[in-house]
Structure 1
């Protein structure tokens, strides 16, 4: 499968998954759960995910990124994944009462037990899904991701409607794991087996030893957010903060999350062929920033009407947090594949130290903000985003030996296109018509106008993303023309 073909299927999976997750979050938040309910689940999930860093140990990256792979070792890799997953489930189960006591919320324990049950199932999908990525079979991966998202989120909505409260979200996690494991093994079955000798899995374990340190550091920085906010500001504040972070993150994943998965496999092939990565990486940065910067600026400008329309008045405290989170996301998408490229180039040890610095900044900045107020916690995302960008932009520029000025030139063109896209919403705010009372059709019209201005500016500035947009439209239109011709 070509890179563009893989990207189309991967983007299709992201769109389908986003649509299902987004629709479920809107329905659940607007009709069934309050911020405190979502905050309770967010704390439970964050606590469980801090332990789940042991689960993958880099197995997915190892399988999808290795130049050569011994097929006979795959059942052993799957056996290791299952063993680790069951161990993680046991730790989460035993830790559940302690977490509930720490937060003085007895309802946390049963939520953690349900999430622990999902960790018994999740590792059965690890190796099959990694093999699909390695083969760039994103058509099959579409079925796995979209199908499991539909099952999990459908379960959560149904149980929320029946009055299960925060537990409905935990049952949704378990349903997602069950269906994902079943579909992944249907597409690429791998039967786990425990290795009789350590030599059978030594290459993976050698990679995983440093990958674990890397994953642990990243997890502390990313997954401790809800724990910090929950401890300092309470359940309702955690629900509002979590919803803002999720909405901005889901939109980023929708737009370019699929591209990153495809380019990891594509960059691995370029590395194996001895080709330089600087030029294709700058092209990737251009595509990332062109799409995400326009979307994040629009999300920040339309935060109030969007939250009111989607979640209702109970969630209006999310609006200002969403604005700061979206603006902070501009920094995070400016350096894509910041973990994957160093791994592909064999720089895992240095990446560990860089990531530890990033983790310290993440925890320190958010803690300082949450200590002041919820609003300050939201603003801290911008401060941390800038620090994060400085760390990784300078690191990758040195690693791939591209001039920093080339990166800034890409940012200039993407920033110009983003400002053009946000101009209609910006004018509406200046004129006093951009508040929470903005009608849906008005918001839709302004957003559509922004998309039009964005496309025009892409073409006028000869942005690299313009060629990709045209190529994608051509690829989508060709089968349609053929059907119409027949």
Structure 2
């Protein structure tokens, strides 16, 4: 499958999964769960995910990115994945009661035990999914992702409607994991077997050692946020903070997650062919920022009406947090594949130290900011993002061979189109001061006006994303002509 065709399927997968998961979160939050319920689940999931970084141990990256892969060893790799996964599930289950006591929330134990069940199923799908990614078979990955998201949504909503509370989200996880396992196994079956020799899995374990440190650091940096906020500010505050962070993060995933998932195996193929990565990586940066910066600014400007229309008055306190977390995404999307590119180029050891520094700074800023309250914790995300970008921008461009002048030009063009996109909403707020009371029609009209301004600005500044849009429209026109 070609890179652009893979990207189309990856986009479809990303959008389908997003729509299903987003609709589920809106329905459950608006009609069934309160911020404290979501906060309780978020704390349980965060604690479980910190432990669950052992589950993959770099197996996915190893299978996807190796120049040569002997398929007869896949079942051995799968056995290692399952062994690690079951150990993790046992640890999560064992930590259920102590975690509940630590936070003083008895309901945490039940949620943790259900999450442990999903972790016992997950490792069976690691190697099949990695092989589908390696083959750029994003059509079957679309089926797995969309199917699992739908299964999880149905179960989560049904159990929430029956009064399961926070456990509804955990049961949705179990259903989604089971559905994904069935679908990827049907597409690329890999049954685990006991490795005949340590030599077979030794290269994978050696790769996984350094990758594990990176995964651990990343898990602590990402998931400790809910744990810190929950301990310092309470369960309800965690629910609000999680919802704001999730909305901003979902926006990023929706805009560029599909592109990034395709580029990792594509870069691996270019590396194996001895091709230069500087030009395509700079193009990826420009496309990431060109589309996501515009959307993030729009979300920050429309935070109050978005929260009010989606979640209702019970979640009104999410709006000021969303404004800051959306702006923080401007930094976090500006250096894509910051982990994957160094790994592909064999620079995993320096990456370990850089990632540890990034994680340390993230934790310190959040702890300090939380002393001033929940909104201060959200504002701290902007400072964290700025330092994060400074760290990786000082390393990745030099590693790939991108000149900083070219990187600066890409950022300036993306900033220009982002400001153009946000102009209608900013002007409306300045003139009318409308906030949460803004109606759906008004918000839709201003958003469409922002998209129009963005489309006009793209060719004016000669943004690289304009080329991608023209190619996509040309491809669609050819398809219509062929079908006619």
TM-score, normalised to structure 2's length?
A: 0.99
1:81 partnered with 2:62: no
Deviation per CA, 1:365-410: give whole Å up to 9, x if none: 1111112100100100000000000000111122112211211110
1:120-269 correspondence runs (5 A): 120-269=120-269
Question: What is aligned with 1:103?
Answer: 103
Question: What is aligned with 2:18?
Answer: 18
Deviation per CA, 1:282-336: give whole Å up to 9, x if none: 0000000001000000000000000000000110100010000000000000000
1:467 partnered with 2:467: yes
Task: Give the Cα separation in 2 of the matches to 1:287 and 1:52.
Answer: 32
Cα deviation, residue 475, structure 1: 2.3
Cα deviation, residue 482, structure 1: 2.8
Cα deviation, residue 354, structure 1: 0.3
Question: What is aligned with 1:359?
Answer: 359
Task: Give the Cα separation in 2 of the matches to 1:442 and 1:480.
Answer: 34
Question: What is aligned with 1:481?
Answer: 481
Task: Give the Cα separation in 2 of the matches to 1:197 and 1:219.
Answer: 31
Contact 1:43 1:226 in 2 (8 A): yes
Question: What is aligned with 1:427?
Answer: 427
470-479 vs 109-118, greater mean Cα deviation: 470-479
Structure 1 spans left out of the alignment, 5+ residues: none
Deviation per CA, 1:45-76: give whole Å up to 9, x if none: 00000100000001000001011001110000
Question: What is aligned with 1:92?
Answer: 92
Deviation per CA, 1:219-278: give whole Å up to 9, x if none: 100111100000000011000000001111111111110111111011111111111111
Task: Give the Cα separation in 2 of the matches to 1:477 and 1:13.
Answer: 22
Deviation per CA, 1:168-222: give whole Å up to 9, x if none: 0010011111001110100000011121210111110110011111110111001
Q: For this pair of structures, how many residues does the alignment match?
A: 484
Question: What is aligned with 1:416?
Answer: 416
Cα deviation, residue 476, structure 1: 3.0
Question: What is aligned with 2:387?
Answer: 387
Contact 1:425 1:434 in 2 (8 A): no
Task: Give the Cα separation in 2 of the matches to 1:371 and 1:51.
Answer: 26
Task: Give the Cα separation in 1 of the matches to 2:393 and 2:131.
Answer: 30
Contact 1:256 1:292 in 2 (8 A): yes
Q: After TM superposition, what 4+ stretches of structure 1 lie above 4 angstroms from structure 2?
A: none
Contact 1:59 1:77 in 2 (8 A): yes
Contact 1:248 1:296 in 2 (8 A): yes
87-96 vs 466-475, greater mean Cα deviation: 466-475
SS in 2 for 1:54: coil
Task: Give the Cα separation in 2 of the matches to 1:402 and 1:283.
Answer: 11
Question: What is aligned with 2:374?
Answer: 374
SS in 1 for 2:55: helix
Cα deviation, residue 478, structure 1: 2.7
Task: Give the Cα separation in 1 of the matches to 2:353 and 2:64.
Answer: 24
Deviation per CA, 1:450-485: give whole Å up to 9, x if none: 0011011001111110010111222234323333x2
Structure 2 spans left out of the alignment, 5+ residues: none
1:326 partnered with 2:326: yes
1:347 partnered with 2:347: yes
SS in 2 for 1:48: helix
231-240 vs 466-475, greater mean Cα deviation: 466-475
465-474 vs 140-149, greater mean Cα deviation: 465-474
1:423-462 correspondence runs (5 A): 423-462=423-462
Contact 1:302 1:434 in 2 (8 A): no
Cα deviation, residue 434, structure 1: 3.1
SS in 1 for 2:334: coil
1:37-52 correspondence runs (5 A): 37-52=37-52
Contact 1:55 1:84 in 2 (8 A): yes
Contact 1:62 1:204 in 2 (8 A): yes
TM-score, normalised to structure 1's length?
A: 0.99
Task: Give the Cα separation in 2 of the matches to 1:482 and 1:277.
Answer: 34
Contact 1:4 1:472 in 2 (8 A): no
Question: What is aligned with 2:304?
Answer: 304
Deviation per CA, 1:70-120: give whole Å up to 9, x if none: 111000000000000000000011111100010000100010000000011
**CA root-mean-square deviation:** 0.8
Deviation per CA, 1:102-161: give whole Å up to 9, x if none: 000010001000000001100011000000000000001000111001101221011111
